[in-house]
Amino acid sequence: MNTPSHLILNLALLRRPVAPVMTWPILLGALIPDAAMFVFYGWARWQRLPEQTIWSEAYYSQPWQTIFAVGNSIPLGLFTAALGYGLKRPWLGLLGASMVLHHLADLPLHHDDAHQHFWPLSSVRFISPISYWDVDHFGRLGATLEMTLVLVATVYLLPRLSFTTSQGLLVVTVALSSIAYGLLLLTPP
């Protein structure tokens, strides 16, 4: 899934029963699994790698694959949630829960870019037949599923956000996601 989708979905699913002050740990937990990817992209641009090479070669190289595996580790996410529970730190528990929710949402929507979700216990990858972006692997279906979930989450979240700024930010994010979705649908087969 795309990073903004994770932020919106996790906020909709985890925020409700707790105080709004927990918004930040949820957003952070939703962001952590993808954080290394942004660092990677910055590094690759700095190395002046062509866009094609970045996503077809460099992305699959070491040590990047291991670095990506750390953030995408379900065991580490569960450990973080358990640690928060054990130490009676609700923010840490929610951060871990939000990480795991991100992992579970990625699991059925990544084809050959699938993550090592069980690192460090196993390097196995679940290669889903459906991708959230690759039109050669039902990308239109994957993207439609993702966009539908995001829209439902947005309708639910909008009236529950306390600040106009947060609502505005949500609307702008969803508008940009919709444009990206539209462009994907227009990709020639």
Nearer to Zn ion, 33 or 93 (CB): 33
Number of residues lying near Zn ion (CB under 5 A): 3
In the bound complex, what is the minimum distance in angstroms from residue 100's beta carbon to Zn ion? Answer: 12
Amino acid in the structure at residue 20: P
Say whether residue 146 binds Zn ion (CB under 5 A).
Answer: no
How far is residue 151 from each of residues 2, 64, 157, measured CA to CA in Å?
Answer: 14, 32, 10
Kindly report the length of the chain: 189
Nearer to Zn ion, 15 or 110 (CB): 110
Residues 23-62 that bind Zn ion (CB under 5 A): 33-34
Spell out the SS3 assignment of 91-150: HHHHHHHHHHHHHHHHHHHCCCCCCCCCCCCCCCCCCCCCCCCCHHHCHHHHHHHHHHHH
Binding part of the chain for Zn ion, among 19-27, 102-110, 129-137, 168-176 by CB under 5 A, reads: 102-110
Nearer to Zn ion, 33 or 96 (CB): 33
In the bound complex, what is the minimum distance in angstroms from residue 105's beta carbon to Zn ion? Answer: 8
- Count of helix runs (H) and strand runs (E) in the chain: 8, 0
Q: How many whole angstroms separate alpha carbon 58 and alpha carbon 49? A: 9
Q: Answer yes or no: are the C-beta atoms of 56 and 103 closer than 8 Å.
A: no
In the bound complex, what is the minimum distance in angstroms from residue 187's beta carbon to Zn ion? Answer: 21
- Residue from 11, 71, 106, 116 binding Zn ion (CB under 5 A): 106
Longest dimension (CA), the chain: 52
In the bound complex, what is the minimum distance in angstroms from residue 163's beta carbon to Zn ion? Answer: 27
In the bound complex, what is the minimum distance in angstroms from residue 5's beta carbon to Zn ion? Answer: 9
Three-state SS at 49: coil
In the bound complex, what is the minimum distance in angstroms from residue 106's beta carbon to Zn ion? Answer: 4
Residue nearest to Zn ion (CB): 106
Nearer to Zn ion, 34 or 134 (CB): 34
Positions that interact with Zn ion (CB under 5 A) = 33-34, 106
